[in-house]
Amino acid sequence: MAEDKNLGLDFDSSNLLLFIIRWKKPLVIIAVAAAVLSAIFSAPMFITPKFESTVIMFPTSTASISKSLLAKNNAAKEDLLSFGEEEQAEQLLQILNSDEIRSRIVEQYDLMTHYEIDTTDQYKQTKLFKEYESNITYKRTEFQSVRIDVLDSDPQLAADIANNIAALVDSVKNRMQKERAYKAMAIAEAEYMEMKDYVKELEDSLNTMREMGVNDYESMSERFNEYYAKAILEGNNRAAEKLAEQLKILSKYGGAYVSIRDMLEHEKEQLSHLRAKYQEARVDAEQTLPHKFIVNSAFAAEKKSYPIRWLIVLISTLSTFIIALLAIIVYENVIRAKV
């Protein structure tokens, strides 16, 4: 008896096609019912259709404006037009996923109301964020570009949100960079102004010595000594006395004059260097450039992207058919086992 049961089980397993043909009527009825029901429940009255809009963009290189435009090295200027690489694409994704962009989009388009989330709900923010993440996604493509996909029941709204998110990339990244750039500019400006004041002090000291008659220590010392020796030889005591006074002034202030003059020359070079650094820092702090290259802007879709009804019907029908088939196999084997 047990042997007959095993034979029956083996027969059912190896002749699945015959088994399906034998039970074709209930299986067909179940499959058709599943197809009809899935078609009905995937209709717009049950599942709100959503339209997808997409923005594709490349990140720019991370070179600063001053390095791109003011650098003496010509090769550095090429950074202005170069596309970013994998690192810049990952940075762009982090910015797109920032709370700042999400908060500004939620506020601008009043997504709490648009997504029909109860504002009195205890977990309203959690529900809002989940709905946001399910409708707005970012990913890096195989070409190192970044793709923004927005799903919404309003096709124009989906396009507006996608384009606005792309625009906010510049705003957020500029804000992040400006915080650092303004601090750098303040440091550079303070150093530049301090050096400028110091150079002015040296120039004032040098002018004071010039007013006292010390204009060019080396040439004046040489000439005065020559004229003084000549006056002594010629017995011109009056001229010798005047020259002696001039030589006394030169000997008293000449060393200081040379020291200040040489120091002034060096400090002017430093001042020029600091001025260039200050100008670069000011450009970085006050000027902006786009941080992305837009390949495709979003537009209002003409056809819905969600739900895909034929796929829902197909999967539902196949799933129901397989479940029904397994259920019948189990049922028949249970009946055989009891015999």
Please enumerate in sequence order all residues whose Cβ is within 8 A of that of 90, keeping only pairs 6 or more positions apart, or say none.
140
Average pLDDT of the residues in 37-43? 74
Q: Which range has the worst mean pLDDT, 108-112, 140-144, 219-223?
A: 219-223
pLDDT bucket at 7, cuts 50 / 70 / 90: very low
Q: 58-67, 72-81, 90-99, 299-308: which has the highest mean pLDDT?
A: 90-99
Q: What is the pLDDT of residues 266-281, one digit of tens each?
A: 888 888 888 888 888 8
pLDDT bucket at 240, cuts 50 / 70 / 90: low
Q: How many C-beta neighbours within 10 Å does residue 158 have?
A: 26
Q: 65-79, 106-120, 212-226, 263-277: which has the highest mean pLDDT?
A: 106-120
Q: What's the pLDDT score for residue 228?
A: 52
Q: Is 76 exposed, middle or buried (0-12, 13-18, 19+ CB in 10 A)?
A: middle
Q: 92-101, 176-185, 271-280: which has the highest mean pLDDT?
A: 92-101
Q: What is the pLDDT of residues 145-163, one digit of tens each?
A: 899 999 998 899 999 999 9
Greatest alpha-carbon pair distance for the chain in Å reads 156
Q: What is the pLDDT of residues 119-135, one digit of tens each?
A: 888 889 999 999 999 99
- Is the pLDDT at 229 greater than 80? The verdict is no
Q: What DSSP character marks residue 81?
A: G
> Amino acid identity, residue 173?
K
Q: What's the pLDDT score for residue 127?
A: 92
Percent of the chain with pLDDT over 90: 19
Greater confidence, 218 or 103?
Answer: 103
pLDDT bucket at 204, cuts 50 / 70 / 90: confident
Q: 58-72, 129-143, 237-251, 283-297: which has the highest mean pLDDT?
A: 129-143
Q: What is the pLDDT of residues 305-336, one digit of tens each?
A: 766 667 777 888 888 888 888 888 787 778 77
Average pLDDT of the residues in 72-94? 71
pLDDT bucket at 184, cuts 50 / 70 / 90: confident
Q: What's the pLDDT score for residue 232?
A: 61
Q: What's the pLDDT score for residue 4?
A: 45
Half-sphere exposure of residue 73, counting CA atoms within 13 Å on the CB side? 8
d(CA 123, CA 24): 49
Greater confidence, 39 or 167?
Answer: 167
Average pLDDT, the chain: 78
Average pLDDT of the residues in 244-256? 64
- Give pairs for 243-248: CB < 8 Å, separation 24+: 246/213, 246/220, 247/221
Q: What's the pLDDT score for residue 104?
A: 93
pLDDT bucket at 164, cuts 50 / 70 / 90: very high
pLDDT bucket at 103, cuts 50 / 70 / 90: very high
